[in-house]
Amino acid sequence: MSNAHTAQKQSAYQRWEMASFDPVTVDHSAADQAALEAHLRRVEEDAHAQGLSKGHVAGQALGYQAGFEQGHAQGIEEGRKIALEEAAQLTALAEQFKTALQAADAAIAETLASLAIDIAQQVVRQHLAHDPTALVAVAREVIATEPELQGSPTLIVNPADLPIVDAYLQEELGAAGWLVRPDPLVERGGCRAHAATGEVDSTNASRWERVAAALGRSQLW
């Protein structure tokens, strides 16, 4: 009984052992085969979609980088052009300001010169009005004129200045052979000289015009 039991056990083991190394026969149905193929297609499609997505992202990144570099270069160039234009505008403004300042300086100088001439004229007028002897210095300059006037030299003065001539210049005029003649057209403080060899105009108006001309001005007395 034990042998029968052992033989039974051995044959059962042997049957299991041999079966375990034999090829397993799997009976696939058509539905299982279709499901497997569908799954494989989905896997392939997912992989393809992922590849496209990654390629799109990579393409966007490359495009963004290229666009950024191009935009950066364009921005630098545009900024340089703008800076040059602004610098040119500032230079033009500086030149205009300089020109305006020079014009203002010239205008101020002109105004000051005119003011100085006007003040000087008023001072001279006041001096002639308050100093009757102002004619003396002017007449002496005329008498000493070079070349010397020859041929009946005559000093012509305002009638109101005759007492001044008699008091301060009579001896000098007589010694030099000069005559004196009054003329109401000659303003007080001035005089004219006439001789055969020429004339000298030392009236106030003539002397003032010569002074103004020496200062680059043209201004009447």
Residue-wise pLDDT for 127-153, tens only, equals: 777 788 989 999 999 998 878 888 999
CA nearest to 186, candidates 155, 212, 148: 155
Structure-token pair, residue 152: 């009946």
| Residue, of 6 and 127, whose pLDDT is higher | 127
Alpha carbon dihedral 212, 215, 217, 219, in 10-degree steps, equals -10
User: CA dist 68 to 38, 61, 65, 167, Å?
Assistant: 44, 10, 5, 104
CB neighbourhood size of 193 (10 A): 20
Res 28 pLDDT > 70:
no
State mean pLDDT over 93-113: 71
Residue 56: predicted pLDDT: 62
pLDDT confidence bin for 12, thresholds 50/70/90: very low
- pLDDT (tens digit per residue) in 44-97: 777 667 766 666 666 666 665 666 667 667 777 777 778 778 777 777 777 776
Q: What is the pLDDT of residues 166-179, one digit of tens each?
A: 999 999 999 989 99
Amino acid at 117: I
Q: What is the pLDDT of residue 8?
A: 47
Residue 29: both structure tokens together: 């149905």
Q: Rounded mean pLDDT of 15-39?
A: 58
How confident is the model at residue 55, as a pLDDT?
A: 63
Q: Which residue spans within the chain are E strands per DSSP?
A: 154-157, 179-182, 191-195, 198-202
pLDDT computed for residue 146 by the predictor: 73
Residue 52: the pLDDT is 63
Residues 151 and 197 sit within 8 Å (Cβ to Cβ): yes
- Give me the architecture of the 132-214 domain, per CATH: 2-Layer Sandwich (3.30)
pLDDT in tens, 193-220: 999 999 999 999 998 888 888 877 777 7
pLDDT grade, residue 191 (50/70/90)? very high
Does residue 192 come out as left (phi exceeding 0), alpha (psi in the -120 to 50 range) or beta? beta
Q: Which residue has the higher pLDDT, 28 or 65?
A: 65
pLDDT at 101 over 80: no
- Average pLDDT in the 120-133 region? 77
The ranges assigned to domains in the chain are 45-130, 132-214
Please determine, for residue 183, whether its predicted confidence score (pLDDT) is greater than 80. yes
